[in-house]
Amino acid sequence: MIMIRVGLTAALCRLCISDVQSSNTSTRLISTGISPLFFKASTCLYAEPLKKKKRIDPAILKQREERKKKRLEKQIRRLERNAKQLKPIDELEVPLELVDGKKERMREAAVITPAVEEERALLTKDWTRYKRKQHLKDMQMIDRLMFAQQKALDELRQESEELYQAAIQINPTLLPFTVRGPVKTPPIKGYDSPDGEYTDVSKKW
List residues near other proteins by CB under 8 A. 98, 101-102, 104-107, 110, 112, 120, 123-124, 126-127, 130, 137, 140-141, 143-161, 163-164, 166-171, 174, 177, 179, 181-189
Of 63 and 127, nearer to other proteins (C-beta) is: 127
- Considering only CA atoms, give the Rg of the chain: 51
Residue 15 CB neighbours (<10 A): 13
Instruction: Give the chain's largest Cα–Cα span.
Output: 141
Of 75 and 160, nearer to other proteins (C-beta) is: 160
End-to-end CA distance of the chain: 96
d(CA 161, CA 1): 129
In the complex, minimum distance from the CB of residue 65 to other proteins, in angstroms, rounded to a whole number:
44
d(CA 66, CA 73): 10
CA-CA-CA-CA dihedral for 42, 48, 49, 55, to nearest 10: 160
In the complex, minimum distance from the CB of residue 157 to other proteins, in angstroms, rounded to a whole number:
6
d(CA 102, CA 96): 10
Of 72 and 123, nearer to other proteins (C-beta) is: 123
3-state secondary structure of 162: helix
In the complex, minimum distance from the CB of residue 199 to other proteins, in angstroms, rounded to a whole number:
20
Of 46 and 191, nearer to other proteins (C-beta) is: 191
In the complex, minimum distance from the CB of residue 133 to other proteins, in angstroms, rounded to a whole number:
11
In the complex, minimum distance from the CB of residue 92 to other proteins, in angstroms, rounded to a whole number:
17
Tell me how many degrees the CA angle 202-84-86 measures, rounded to the nearest 5. Answer: 100
Of 26 and 173, nearer to other proteins (C-beta) is: 173
In the complex, minimum distance from the CB of residue 165 to other proteins, in angstroms, rounded to a whole number:
10
Query: Exposure of 36 by Cβ count < 10 A (0-12 exposed, 13-18 middle, 19+ buried)?
Result: buried
Of 105 and 203, nearer to other proteins (C-beta) is: 105
